[in-house]
Amino acid sequence: MANIVIDRVRKSFGAFQALKEVSLTINDGEFVSLLGPSGCGKTTLLRIIAGLETASGGDVRIGDKSVLGLAPRDRGLAMVFQNYAVFPHMTVYENVAFGLRMQKADEARIKAQVEKAAGLLHIEQYLDRYPNKLSGGQRQRVAVARALAVEPKVLLMDEPLSNLDALLRLEMRTELKTVLQSAGTTTIYVTHDQTEAMGLSDRIAVMHGGIVEQVGSPVDVYNHPATRFVGGFIGNPPMNFIKVPVLNGQVSAGIEQLNAPQEAGREIILGLRGEAVELAGLPEGLEMKVRVAEPMGSHLLLTGSIHDQPVRVILPASETVGSGDTIGLKLDRKRITWLSPESGQSFP
Ligand code: ATP
């Protein structure tokens, strides 16, 4: 079993707490992303799991065994880091074969595994080259192939696709997902790219300021963000947050009355996904002033305001709304997230 338990891990650099107290369990064969903005502590956490950084407190267990006392190479994991250098004095073939040679695999198995990994990463044609004759993206693919070639039980990756152009990145993402799923590899994947995390992960741990704010499936964190930070970080456009008055336990949205949570005070934040609306007339719908209408081909993106607060909504491409229009919106009440204006936490 290669489950990973991160148990109340803390890390300070001097007086600065990079990780406050992080607990997270990654199940055997699961793909979990650590997602968050720059500086939130995701790389630090990954480096602690890998053994490249020491924790200030807490424990990390792999397969129910504490690994904090073990050197990186004894932890039974493979790693791909953003700038994880490939060996410049070895050909691509030898780079990819490296881990297998360390394991003293026989030549036939090495050849088979190198060819398989190279095929997946589309680097077959570079096997005889040296890394200085490759582009940054090609080198990055060599690093990923080298990690996959040993068929590790646990794989740690830190922004492994960051040097690829958008199209190749999308292709690699799909390939990675297929490969790791079929191999049953337990994977922790660090990224600040929410689309990548959404597409790849079984679950996402959203990090912010040295803590995990929420852990859940991509659909769960998207539809039910635990905090304002999560709703604003995930989704493109991000979730809209509109502060609205609560009267007799209800919030008006055009002619519709929405039931606010019982714990609500006099004001509440209505969290609304941009696509959870339909065009309705006025005064039936909730009034939105459209500042800019952008036809995106697949949909129509509207930027403007509701109750004088900035919002972005998405309508079907077939709707005809122009910049400067005032429109009415019907809200999909099942898709509303209510949040506390004070704490920024969502109501259950
Ligand atoms: P990025 O996406 O930019 O890599 P991150 O979420 O991975 O960000 P970390 O690299 O884990 O962030 O860093 C977390 C915080 O700890 C940052 O504020 C960083 O400046 C700080 N930090 C990291 N390593 C050290 C160090 N060796 N000494 C001092 N501070 C550090």
Quick check: bond before 283 cis, omega within 30? yes
| Separation CA 181–CA 155 (nearest Å) | 12
| Residue pLDDT, tens place only, 189-230 | 999 999 999 999 999 999 999 999 999 999 999 999 999 999
Q: Within a domain: residue 345?
A: no
How many whole angstroms separate alpha carbon 310 and alpha carbon 278?
Answer: 18
Range of the domain at 308: 237-339
Q: What is the pLDDT of residues 327-344, one digit of tens each?
A: 999 999 999 999 999 999
Give the mean pLDDT of 319-324: 96
Q: Write the single-letter amino acid at 176.
A: L
For residue 163, give every residue at least 6 positions away whose Cβ sits within 8 Å of its Cβ, in sequence order, or none: 82, 136, 137, 139, 140
CA distance readout (Å), 77 to 152, 299, 333: 6, 43, 45
CA of 159 to the centre of ligand 1 (A): 14
Ligand 1 centroid to Cα of residue 56, in Å, is: 15
Among protein residues, the one with the nearest Cα to ligand 1's atom 27 is 13
44 C-beta closer than 6 A to ligand 1: yes
Based on the fold, state whether residues 211 and 281 are members of the same structural domain: no
Q: Is residue 312 part of a domain?
A: yes
Q: Which atom of ligand 1 is nearest to the CA of 44?
A: 11
Q: Are residues 47 and 71 in the same domain?
A: yes
Is residue 128 located within the same domain as residue 266? no
Q: Is 38 in the pocket of ligand 1 (CB under 6 A)?
A: yes
Tens digit of each residue's pLDDT (9 = 90 or more) over 11-33 = 999 999 999 999 999 999 999 99
| Distance (Å) from CA 103 to ligand 1 centroid | 33
Quick check: is 344 in a domain? no
Nearest residue (CA) to ligand 1, atom 21: 18
346 within domain boundaries: no
Please give the model's pTM, rounded to 2 decimal places: 0.91
**In a shared domain, residues 319 and 243:** yes
Question: 218 and 271 share a domain?
Answer: no
Is residue 83 scored above 70 in pLDDT?
no
Ligand 1 pocket, residue 271 CB under 6 Å:
no
| CATH code where residue 323 lies | 2.40.50.140
> Per the structure, how many domains does the chain have?
2
Answer yes or no: is 9 within a domain.
yes
Distance 43 CA to ligand 1 centre (A): 7
Three-point CA angle 159, 205, 234, nearest 5°: 80
pLDDT in tens, 253-286: 999 999 999 999 999 999 999 999 999 999 999 9
Residues 160 and 242 in one domain: no
Cβ-Cβ contacts under 8 Å for 40 (sequence gap 6 or more): 207, 208, 209, 210
Which of 228, 252, 272 is the last residue before a domain boundary? 228
